[in-house]
Amino acid sequence: PAHVHKYAQLFGQHTGVRAVVQETMTTEELLLRPLRDKAARRVIRHIAKARRKVAEEDGEAPRIVFHAFSNNGALLFQSVQSQLPHDMSSAVAGTVFDSCPGDLTLNVWVGAVRDAPLSPAVTSAAAGAGILGFLALRLAVGSTVTFAKLVAAGLIGSKVLEYAITKRYHDEFVGVPLRCPQLFLFSNEDTLVSSARVEDLARRRQEAGVPNVRLHRFNGSGHVAHFREHPEEYRDVVFGFLDTMCAGSD
């Protein structure tokens, strides 16, 4: 996808980068954990293939730097790192988190689904099921007042579910065993992922034993829009981070 390819081009401009692997998830993979884990295994195969090719050319396998975008990327990253073989996990030199992690609210899920590729069959099925479900519930309830109470109860229940899902997501993120340097890129104007949440999770990662946690706040840029709105600043921050990876610095 074009929105990912421009970052691959950016990484390719750094003299220390020998290969770039681009991956995205479909909506089905995003929403269903087994499919997400399967997508993670696909990512691992592609990384392994790229490392073998570089090793054949350079005589040694390169280290790995992950760059995740939004909650989609952070969720995929968690699935990937949990399945990495030892020779690859020990080669991870750093991770970059752009506009993530955040809370998994209904609003955020809608945005994530909107940004992920979705097959026409799934779109039609989801739309049809939603409309039919709404009509069936309305007809079954009959009373407008009762229906309104059910809607209110559903909204309260959704908030409880959002909290539980978000807490599990954040706890798993904080518990990732990788202790390599980590860079968090965020903005004070991101309406999907708050700067306070990113700062809190970065702090928790540091408390969990990650010695090198860096944060960079962009001013005025929206969700995953930091590179588009601040290209030079973004390049300098990311390249500065990559420079430490190439130097083998912690």
Based on DSSP, count helices (H) and strands (E) in the chain, helices before strands: 11, 4
Residue 195: predicted pLDDT: 96
Neighbours of 68 (CB within 10 A): 20
CA distance 246 to 213: 17
**Residue pair 88/118 in contact by the 8 Å Cβ criterion:** no
211-236: pLDDT as tens digits: 999 999 999 999 999 999 999 999 99
Residue 159: predicted pLDDT: 72
Phi/psi at 14 (nearest 5 deg)?
A: -80, 130
154-178: pLDDT as tens digits: 545 567 778 888 999 999 999 999 9
- Write down the mean pLDDT value for the chain: 84
Q: Which residue has the higher pLDDT, 125 or 32?
A: 32
CA distance 100 to 175: 16
CA angle 141/144/150 to nearest 5° reads 60
Residue 52: predicted pLDDT: 95
Q: How confident is the model at residue 182 (pLDDT cuts 50, 70, 90)?
A: very high
All residues at 6 or more sequence positions from 219 whose CB lies less than 8 Å from its CB, including other chains:
187, 188, 189
CA distance 212 to 124: 46
Residue 119 has pLDDT above 60, yes or no: no
Residue 1 has pLDDT above 80, yes or no: no
